[in-house]
Each structure stands twice: as structure tokens, then as C-alpha cells.
Structure 1
Amino acid sequence: MQHDILSNAFTSEETNQGSNTVVLRGFDGMGKTTLLRKAILEWAEGNLWKDRFKFVIFLDACDMSRVTETSLAEAISRDWPACSKPVGDVLSQPQDILLVIDGFEKLKCHWTIDTNTNNDWRRQQPTEVILNSLLQKKMLPEASLLVALGTKVMQNRPFILWHPKYIDMQGFSEIRKKAYFFQFFQEKWLASKAFRYVRDKPFLLSVCQNPLVCYLICSCLKWQLDRGECLDIVCGNITYLYASYLISVMKAGGQRLSHRQNKARLQGLCSLAAEGIWTQKYKFCRGDLKRNGLSDLDTSMWQGVDLLRRNGDCFVFPHKQVQEFCTSLFYLLEQPQDRVNPAIGSISQLLGEAYISDTRQLITNSYCIKHCRNLQKLSICIENDFPDDSRIFSRLYFLSNFGDRVDFFRAICDKPHLENLNLRGTSLSLVAVRELCETLKHPTCNIKQLNLDMCKLSPTCCDALASALVSCRTLKSLSLDGITLDYLGVLVLCVALGHPDCALHTLGMVALSKA
């Protein structure tokens, strides 16, 4: 479906209307990068945009960011075939160029419109300026852009694109899920058996919305089938799925090794992942692997189970989210005497200011938050990623103990430096709101600013919120912009605000009431 939309995205009619910037938008793991690369291959084979573009150029924003200063011409020339037309001649015909840009999710830059832009593609300048200039159509304005952006990037950088046309990546239907399984498994009877197992597990079937999750599940099941085991994936939440995937990996690749050897291999892999997160590196050379304790034999084992993949002369994880999960494990496995890589910071450094944008990150960061005494600001925006968000929010588990049920909000109770909690745009169930309010009333909680803008609160949440306003002595600022409540809900809040024990100084609210 998205492929058909892409084929018509750059018609002459669309371009004449100013829509020569197309954004492929979706959550991480939805297959944006795969679709971009497939589109480039189809163009090269003459099956896509045949009469529209003479040149299609792929730019990896993350790779480009490794160079402090460069020019657009120089950045393109690094991978330019020697027999091709000179880059300068190509860039002098921008109306015939499609620039395909990927990798923005891996960058930490925060750009604003009309800031640090330049239109000279020959000039040496910071990579950030080049990318910013391309996105804002200051550089090569006549060229067409096809950009992949994740949901988190769109939230952080909403104004950097010039008149974009959006193509949303949709989750898999059950038919597409089944098709993925039959493509993954070479034998039809194995595919049928694996898909029947998933279809009988409502949680697994519901999270099979994108290629990444389907890949994790299919990999687990394949390794279990290869070993003749009964199919079994723990499916309490997404973290359990990643844990099942990793357990299956270790069984597949390390069955002949001792527990100590397997742990050492896993520590090396997780150290590599953590170094990459800290240094914004997602491609690793053999020197990087050796520095983190991975021998050639270790690397071969991780390649054999597809947890490391060859990318030219380098190695990559199957997906950025897999690398992030391994980074979380690094802090679980680490002992005080293990710290040997100076590029990897501590949990406190990592979470001096935490931004969490999906349920998986919320769960995997719970352990870090629990042990981070210096956390000052916590921003969470978790949208309705799963059909039953109330169940996800009411059952949160720390990675420190997979069987120990610990509520997330209690992890922030004893953070004396945490004064700013931003939950803007998060879908909160009644259970989650009640737990939040109990946290606010806890004597060790020191939150002074709470942002609940656009939080989709139900009217029944007002009783708990009102109780917290009366009992919490530290809360000074509350923002409720964009929340629609009925008359009774507004009345309950007004009574709480008028209570003599309410310590609130600032209340922000727009479009609060509902007739």
C-alpha cells in the first residue's frame, strides 16, 4: 500500500503544488528504512519514477554526522561510483534529483526553523547545517526529498520541514502478519505451526504490528523449532518479548559454553551496544568489537544468531531498538570492577534528564530510574501503541527482577532532585492516574511541576487528582491544557483548588470543560 502511494508521490501535479518533500512517518520498527531501500532498488531497475528522476541519492544522516565539517558534494562523493557522472554536474541539475534521507532517529540534534542554514552545496560546513538546509529547502530547493522520520523525531522537531506531504506507515493486518511468517520460514508447515501459536496468543498477535516485532517473534519460534522444543514465548509485555528473544539467542549460539563464558560474551556485546548509544555510533569496526572484549570467535557466534550483521566492512545490530535493549542489559550485568570503557557513562549521567517516548522504553528504563539518585527532569510521552493500554500501564516490571511486580511511579518517589515531571500527550488509564497521585502524596516525592497536557484523562480521574492537589505540599505548577472534562470533573477540581491545604501556585488550562 505504501509502495503504491510512493509511486505517485512525486508526480508532476504534486510537484507543481509544492509537494516535493515527502515524509515516510511511523514508529520505530515499522519498516521505513526497508521501504526506502526497496524503492531505490526499484528505481534502479526502472520500475519506479522512471521518467521523473535521473538521479536518486541516498544519505544516511547518522553516517554524515560522524564528520564534523563537510560539504554536500563531498558527502555524496564518498560512495559515488568512479564511472558515474561528476557529482558537481549532478547537483547542478537539482530538478532531476531525489534525495533519500534516513537515520534521523539516531541523531540528538535539536534544530529550529531558519537557524543555521546555507544554500551552497560546495561549502565546507557542519553536517547539522547541511541537513537542516536540505530539510528547510534552503539548499537545492528544486530537488525532491524523501525522508524517513520516526514519531519521536516528529515530536521533537515539528517545524523543520518545508510543506511536507506525509505517508503514514500502517501496522500489519492479520493477512500481512501471516504473509510475513510464510516469508520468514522456508517450509510452509513450520510457518503454519508458528503462526497458529501466535494467533492463539492475543498479546503476541496484537504486537505483531511491524516487521521488527514479527522478526523477534519469528526468530524465537524458529530457534525453538530447530531444537525440537515446545513453542513458548513469555508474553506479559514487550520487555518479556525482548527477553525471550535474547534467551533464544543464547540457547542457539551458546549451548556448548559454560555460564561464565556466555555471560562474558553477552557483556561484551552489551558493552558494544552501550558505547554506540553514548557515542551515537551504530556501525562498528573490528577495533570497536575488540575494545569491548569481543573476539573473532564471539563475533562469529553473534553473526550466526543474527544479533550482529555485516554492513560492508562493519557490523551493526539488527535494529536500533535491539541495540537499546542490549544497552539496558549492560547496566544490569555491570559490576563496579567491570568499567573499562571510558566512553560509557553511568546510569546517573545517562538519566540526568530522561526522555521516554514509548512503553518499551518506559519499562526498560524503570531499572535505571530506580537507581538514579540525581534525576532532575523526566519527560514521558507514550501514545496508544497497544490496543489495551490500561493493562500495559497497570502492569510494569523492572528488569532487575523479571518476576517482581513493581509500579513505575514508585520508582520516582525517592528522587529528591526530581522536580519536573512531563507526561504531555500520554494515554493514562485510571489505574495509572491513581498511582501517579499516590506518588505525588508520598512524603519523599519532591515534584514541583507536573505537565498533563493532552493526556486523555477520563472524567473519573478527577477525584484522584483533586485528592493529590489537597495532600501534596510540594506541587506548585500544574498544566492541564487540552484536556476535556465534564462539568462534574471541573467542579471536583475547583473544590480542591479552593481548599486551604492546596499549595498550587500556577494552573494552566485551555479547552478544559465539556458541555
Structure 2
Amino acid sequence: METMIEEYQVIEDKNSRLGESILLNKRYIPPIIIKKHRWQEDDLHQIVAGGNKDLDDLNQRENLECISIGIDKLFEPNEHGLLASTVVLQGPSGIGKTTTLRKIMLDWASGNIYEKFDYIFYLSCKEMKLIQADTSLAELLLSNCKDPKTPVSEILANPENLLFLIDGFDELRFSLDYLNSKLCSDPHEKASISCIFNGLLRRTVLDKSHLLITTWSMAAEKLKRYLVSPCSFEILGFSPKGQEVYFSNFFEDEQQAKQAYTFVQGNKMVYSMCFAPIVCWSVCTVFQQQFESGQSLDENLTTSTSLFVFFVTGMLNHCSCKQTAQKHLQSLSSLAEEGMRKHTIVFEEEQIKKHNLDAENILALFLNKNQCQEGTMSRSTFSFVHFTFQEFFAALFFVLEAKPQSNANLIKLLKDNQEKTDGFLTATVRFLFGLLNGDTVGFIQKNLACKVDFQIKEILMKWVMVSATKNPPLKEQKLLELLHYLFETQDVEFVKAAMERFTEISLSSLPLTVADCLALTFCINYSYKKHTLHLQDCQLGYQQLDVLMLGIANCLYLSLSDNKLEDSSVKLLCEGLKQPDCELQSLTLNVTGLTDESAMDLCYALSEKQMLTELYLIGNFFTDKSVSSITYLIENCKRLRILSLYKSPLTSDGIKKLMRLEKRIRQSGRRLIIIV
């Protein structure tokens, strides 16, 4: 066990120098892990989009922390007393799945958890898919152990006491495509890696063993086809307290940690992304560079793109002069673009040479090197330290000075991203839009002496315009992605031109994060036109509404139905409605949990809106106590034509009062319909 403890007790930072390492227990923060009660496809790149709905509202995050499941409880009996032998841990890229598995390995080797298992094997799918020669499961496990004396055959004799940690099922998406492929049944029989993994997942080999599998959320549905009665959990990253502890652990200087965390809290967009460990690490690394150079924290750190530009530039300039930094940037970008185009994240040594990536310090900075053993032969493969860096560098490839075929490849990338739903290209496109920002371009040109191709701005604008006029219209998820693309530009004129085509925006039934609402509000605010906005069943809470109200003045029609707003959020809504330039004509708040407590605030705020013609309050909890406030609204809002209180718990007396009011208003010459 000592060998295993030595292996798993340390981790290397993604930008660490040779020989540098950090204790896992110092960097590891227990993530929020919750039980998933249904299989669903989530957004692959929520970390760059800015968050996960379950983590967005601070109160909700704290509530989730209370019900979070510890890593030692993943194989506990369920509510029916049944023990799962297969557990799936899903979540987006950069959320901490691999680190969590390493922590399980360390804690088990230290005797702290899962004592019922005689042995736990860690299998990295990224490494396994590189093995081309046939092998046996026993040989695979032995080669995966640091201790060559590990009695693998004896261990396999009792599979019920074994746990396999299979890290990164999504990495195998190309080798497990055929459900009818040969299945491994004997752990000592030589077979292909695809055959072995098929056997493990589909229980034809070591069927009594236990499996803990991590995967991107978007690959969960595919994984479901292979498994029998899996128990599914979702890893949601850090709680607010966890974020703070991460900053505290990262910086040795307590004052710097406090200063960095306070700065991030003041930046809603960056803070909304910091639930993801990869973002927390990137932000802390950028701030560390600032502290070391004696500079103040960059107040222009407003988007995920600006964060990565600042980080990558600092790291390149730290390792090389401007001229060589420019060369390395172009090489990394061309490698990344090839990977995105060919849908791969693992590169052979020949590809590294082809892209002129020959500097060891740069390779160590942004690429992981893996040795793949095949019999007596070994070969080197490479991958970016994190997939997000590959996505960023791929976007940068198109922004740097024009290259043959780059525009054609860009157009194809945009087309593929819009047509596919796997999310593989989404973050690359978002970074691409972010790199259009004038300040960002200037920063790149100044600090890396790179020339920029401004022609791509025209290509992206044309693509946005075509997307806006698609028939049928963009689906909700694709429209939300496009709003994030526009937000990343922080280019007001670009956004104004684009939003002219999006007069009606429907994001209904999408769980919206604070970051989503920031992007939406930014786009609406910088639009020449007033908009119709449908946000039914978007799981909006106080935090999201706080952001959305900044854009309500640019809406003519607004629907917030089927969101649990309740009375606490009504005051925010009223503040938005009171904005002098708010010309709202129709407001729909059906089934939003409103009660008499909010009736007065809402009715008095709306009474000032002389453009309001329709108000729908179906399925709320207004009683006779609200009749006086409703009367005030109707008498003062002269253009109101339709008011629906259908399915409200009004008594017959309350209904009679409203009907008499309706009759009196009609007799005065106004058109009015009250529905109760």
C-alpha cells in the first residue's frame, strides 16, 4: 500500500515545473455530489458557459451541501435497501471527477474508506484507448500497478471484493461504438481493449465486481446502454465555502488569498464559474502571476476568454521571449485546431513534431506526455493538460493571421457546432467570439507580438445573421449558446447588430444559471429593439432574477411562468418594473408561488405602467385580501385589457367584487376582461 500512497498522495499542477508537486490533501476540496434520479443530457461545457443551475443560487448551493454525499457513501444501500454494484459519477469537463477518483484511491490505500474491498484498481480510459495490441485484463491490471509483485491472479479470484475505478468513459466514445462487438469473458484471455471494457461494463467478465465510472454528462445516455441497474450521481463542483477554502489553500499568503477571493466575489461572471475546480485553479494562477509581478488584479477579467488569454499569455511570456512565445502560440493553436477538427484529444509524437512543438518547457506547460507500453515497445502520446486549453487554443488558431484553408475550416466548425448536440465544439466557438473583443486583441498583439485576422469578424457576424433567420428557429439550447457567444465579445456594436434579428427570445424549460442571465441581460440591454422574452420553467431564483431585472426595460412581453419566484423575488421584479424606460405591455406570472404578501408591491409597481395591456396571474395563491390591491391596479393602469386570476383561491365574495369592478370599468368606456 505504501507504493500506492506515494503515487496518489501528490498531484502536479497543470503548469508545474519538472519535479514540482502538491499534496493532494492540501488541494482537494470535497465537492458537492448529489444523487441523480434520472438520466439526462446536460450541457458539456457549463464550466465555460458559466455554471451549473444546481450551483447558481447561493442559498441553493448551501442547501445542496447539506445533502451532498461523501465519497465514502457511493456504494451505500439505496432507499429500498439495495446495494448497487455499478455507480456512475457524471459531470462536465473540469468539475473534479479525476481528482475525486484519485482521492478515493489515496483514502482506500490509507485505510480510511471502503475496507470491504480487497483491492481497488484505477483505469484511465485516456491511457487505455492508446493500447493497440491485444492484452488480457489480468495483464492490464498488473501493468497498471506500480508494485510488480501485486498478486493479480489471487485478487481476481474474489471479484466481489474488487472495485474498478474507470475514469473518463467519454474518452472511449470511438472504440465502444458497436454494441454487438465481442465481449471479454475470461480475465486471463487476450483481447482488444474495446472487448475488455465491453466485458467489464456489460458484466460478462468479473460480473460480481464493483464499478465506479466517471463520464461527461453528455456521454451518460450512451453509457446507460452498457450498464445493468446503475446508480447515478452528479458531481457539481465546489460549494461557496469550498471555493473560499480552495483560494485559502492555494495562496500561502493569507492576505493574498483574501484579496483574490474578495475580487472574484465582486465579479459575477467569474464568480459564477468558480464552482468548477479548473476555473478556480486558472483564476488563482492568474492572480498569483499578478501578485508575483507586483501588479494589481486585472479588473478587466470579465469573461472566460479574457481569463484564458491573460493566463496563457502570462505563462508563455514566463517561459520565453515574445518572438518564441509567438511561435509556440501558433504551434499550440494549430495542434489544437487539428484535434478539434478530427475529434481527438490524444496526439502522436509525429503530430507534435509536425506542429513544431519541440521546446520541452512549453510541452511541459500545456501538454501531458504519456508513455504507452505495447509489449517490449513503448511510444509517447500527448494531450493538453485540460481539454479546455485545447478548446481555447483551437479558437486562437482562427484569430491569428490568416492561413490557407482556415476560413473554410472555420465555416465548417460553425456549421458542425450548430448541427450537433454533443457540445464538443461549443466552448471553442465561445472562445472564438471572445477573441473578437478589441481589448483582448490589443492585449494579444502587444504581449505576444501576434498579428490578428480581422476577417473572421465578418464571417462570425454573417453566421449569426443566418442563425437568426433559420426556419425553424434555433432551439432553446442553441439560442442560449449564441447569447453566450455574443456576451463573450463584450462588443456593443457587434451585439446591437446581431440582436436586431432576435426580437423574440424563448429559453423556456432550460435551467438558467446566473451566468446565463448575465449573457441574456447583456444582449437585451445592447439591442436597438424591444423584445418578447419567454422564460417559463427556467428554474429562476432570487439570484437569477436579480440579474434579469437589469434588462426588463428592454422587454415588451415577459413571461416568467412556472418559476418558483415566491414573494421574496417580487420586490426585485417590482424594482425592474419601476425603471422609467420600462414599457412592458404584457406580463405573465402563472404558477409562480405568489401570495397576498406580494400583491400590494406588484400591483402598485404595475399601476405606474401605462403601457401594460395584459397581466396573467393564473394558479397563484391570491385570496380576497388581495382584491383591494388588484382594484387599485385596474383603476390606475388605464390600458389594462386582460387580467387573469384563474385558479386563485378567491371566495365568492371576492369574485363578486371583481365582477362589479369589471362592470363599472366597462361602463366607463374601457375594455376590460377579468378572468377568475
Note whether the superposition's TM-score is higher than 0.5.
yes
Give 2:121's aligned amino acid.
I
Counterpart among 110, 125, 133 of residue 45 in structure 1: 110
- 1:54 aligns to what? 118
8 A contact 1:396–1:406 mirrored in 2? no
SS at match of 1:355: coil
Counterparts of 1:469-484 in structure 2 under 5 Å? none
8 A Cα contact 2:184 2:198, kept in partner: no
Confirm or deny that 1:265 pairs with 2:331: no
Q: Which runs of 5+ in 1 are unaligned?
A: 340-344, 384-388, 414-421, 437-451, 466-483, 491-513
* Matched residue, 1:326: 393
Per-residue deviation at 1:208?
0.9
| 1:489–1:365 Cα change, 3 Å | farther
Q: How far, CA to CA, are the matches of 1:381 and 1:348 in structure 2? A: 22
Q: Match for residue 193 of structure 2?
A: 127
Out of 321-330 and 104-113, give the one that drifted further.
104-113
Give the aligned partner of residue 63 of structure 1: 127
Q: CA deviation at 1:382?
A: 4.7
- 2:402 maps to 335
1:112 offset after TM fit, Å? Answer: 8.0
- The residue number in structure 2 matching 1:364 is 431
Q: Over residues 20-51 of structure 1, what are the superposed CA-to-partner deviations in whole Å (9 max), with x where a residue is unaligned? A: 1112222221111001011112212222212x
How many angstroms does 1:85 deviate by? Answer: 3.9
6, 10, 21: which one aligns with 2:75: 10
Give the Å deviation of 1:321.
1.4
- 2:88 maps to 23
Change (3 A) 1:380 1:127: farther
Distance in 2 of aligned mates of 1:289 and 1:97: 38
Show the counterpart of 2:358: 295
**CA distance in structure 2 between the partners assigned to 1:93 and 1:40 by the alignment:** 19
Contact 1:234–1:244 under 8 Å retained in 2: no
Go from structure 1 to structure 2 and tell me whether the alpha carbon gap of 1:32 and 1:408 turns closer, same or farther (over 3 Å shift): farther
Residue 14 of structure 1: how far off its partner (Å): 9.7
Contact 1:364 1:398 in 2 (8 A): no
Deviations 1:235-287 (A, max 9, x none): 44323322332233344334x333xx322110111223234445565455655
Superposition deviation, residue 326 in structure 1: 1.2
Could you say if the C-alpha distance between residues 257 and 242 of structure 1 is closer, same or farther in structure 2, counting changes exceeding 3 Å? closer
Equivalent residue in structure 1 for 2:486, among 397, 400, 404: 397
Q: Which moved more, 1:100-109 or 1:308-317?
A: 308-317
Query: What code does the residue aligned with 1:213 have?
Result: V
Letter in 1 for 2:391: E
**Structure 1 residues 190, 284: CA separation in 2 closer, same or farther (over 3 Å shift)?**
farther
Write out aligned runs for 1:57-456 (5 A): 57-68=121-132, 70-73=134-137, 74-81=139-146, 83-85=148-150, 87-109=152-174, 115-116=180-181, 118-122=183-187, 123-254=189-320, 256-258=321-323, 261-278=324-341, 282=345, 287-296=350-359, 299-301=360-362, 303=364, 306-309=365-368, 316-333=383-400, 335-337=402-404, 346-348=409-411, 350=413, 351-352=415-416, 353-355=419-421, 357=423, 360=427, 363-364=430-431, 382=477, 394=483, 396-397=485-486, 403=491, 406=494
SS in 1 for 2:485: coil
CA displacement at 1:164 relative to structure 2: 1.8
Aligned to 1:469: none
Pairwise CA distance, 1:215: 0.8
Structure 2 residue runs without a partner (length 5+): 1-29, 34-68, 372-379, 434-455, 502-506, 525-534, 541-551, 560-588, 592-613, 617-645, 648-676
One-letter code aligned to 1:203: M
Whichever residue aligns with residue 54 of structure 1, its letter is D
- Matching residue's letter, 1:10: F
Paired with 1:379 and 1:114, the residues of 2 have a C-alpha distance of 33
Cα distance in 1, alignment partners of residues 77 and 484 from structure 2? 51
Determine if contact 1:355/1:379 at 8 Å carries over to the other structure: no
Amino acid in the other structure paired with 2:385: P
How far does the alpha carbon of each residue in 1:42-87 deviate from its partner, in whole angstroms, 9 at most, with x for none?
212222212x112211112232223456355243344345633454
| Alignment-mate amino acid for residue 300 of structure 2 | V
CA distance in 2: counterparts of 1:423 and 1:133, whole angstroms: 41
Contact 1:60 1:101 in 2 (8 A): yes
Q: Look up the SS of the partner of 1:145 in the other structure.
A: strand
Tell me the alpha carbon deviations over residues 291-313 of structure 1, each in whole angstroms, 9 at most, x when there is no partner: 211222xx31464xx43455567
Is the 1:96–1:143 contact (alpha carbons within 8 Å) kept by the matching residues of 2? yes
In structure 1, how many angstroms separate the alpha carbons of the residues matched to 2:356 and 2:78?
Answer: 56
Larger radius of gyration: 2
> What's the CA shift for 1:211?
0.8
Deviation at 1:233, TM superposition (A): 4.8
Contact 2:91–2:97 (Cα < 8 Å) also in 1: yes
Query: Cα distance, 1:138 vs. partner?
Result: 3.2
What TM-score does the superposition give when structure 1 sets the normalisation length? Answer: 0.67
The answer to which structure has the higher helix fraction is: 2
**Compared with structure 1, are the counterparts of its residues 270 and 112 closer, same or farther at alpha carbon in structure 2 (3 Å cutoff)?**
closer
How do residues 475-494 of structure 1 correspond to structure 2 at under 5 angstroms? none
Please identify, of 71-80 and 21-30, the stretch whose mean Cα deviation from structure 2 is larger. 71-80
Indicate the SS of the match to 1:42.
helix
Read off the aligned partner of 1:346 and give its amino acid letter: N
State the distance in 1 between where 2:237 and 2:225 align. 26
CA spacing shift, 1:13–1:235, aligned 2, 3 Å = closer
In 2, are the aligned partners of 1:356 and 1:379 still within 8 Å (CA)? no
| Preserved contact between residue 128 and residue 193 of structure 2 (Cα < 8 Å) | yes
Secondary structure at 1:396 match in 2: helix
CA contact (8 A) 2:84 2:230 kept: yes
Q: Distance in 2 between matches of 1:489 and 1:361?
A: 42
- Matched residues in 1 for 2:190 and 2:397: separation? 38
Greater shift, 313-322 or 8-17, is seen at 8-17
Say whether the 8 Å CA contact 1:177–1:214 is kept in structure 2. yes
Give 3-state SS (helix, strand or coil) of 1:168's partner: strand
| C-alpha distance in 1 between matches for 2:497 and 2:130 | 37
The aligned amino acid for 1:27 is P
How many residue pairs were aligned? 437
- Alpha-carbon contact 1:26-1:151 (below 8 Å) kept: yes
Match of 1:498 in 2: none
Q: Over aligned residues, Cα RMSD in angstroms?
A: 5.1
- Aligned equivalents of 2:462 and 2:144: distance in 1? 44
Q: Larger RCO: Structure 1 or Structure 2 (Cα < 8 Å, ≥ 6 residues apart)?
A: 2
Distance 2:93 2:245 in 1: 21
Three-state SS of the structure 2 residue aligned to 1:19 is coil
Letter of the aligned partner of 1:167 in structure 2?
A: F
Deviation at 1:114, TM superposition (A): 6.2
Residues in 2 aligned to 1:83 and 1:250: alpha-carbon distance in whole angstroms: 40
Cα distance in structure 1, aligned partners of 2:369 and 2:326: 23
Verify the 8 A CA contact 2:337 2:394 in the aligned structure 1: yes
Cα distance 1:249–1:173, how it changes in 2: closer, same or farther (>3 A)? same
SS at match of 2:366: coil
SS at match of 1:27: coil
Distance (whole Å) between structure 1 residues aligned to residue 356 and residue 615 of structure 2 = 58
Amino acid of the residue matched to residue 396 of structure 1?
Y
**Quick check: 1:7–1:49 contact (8 Å CA) kept in 2?**
yes
CA contact (8 A) 1:233 1:244 kept: no
Secondary structure class of the residue paired with 2:420:
strand
Shift of 1:147: 0.9
Judged with a 3 Å threshold, the aligned counterparts in structure 2 of structure 1 residues 429 and 485 are, in CA distance, closer, same or farther, namely farther
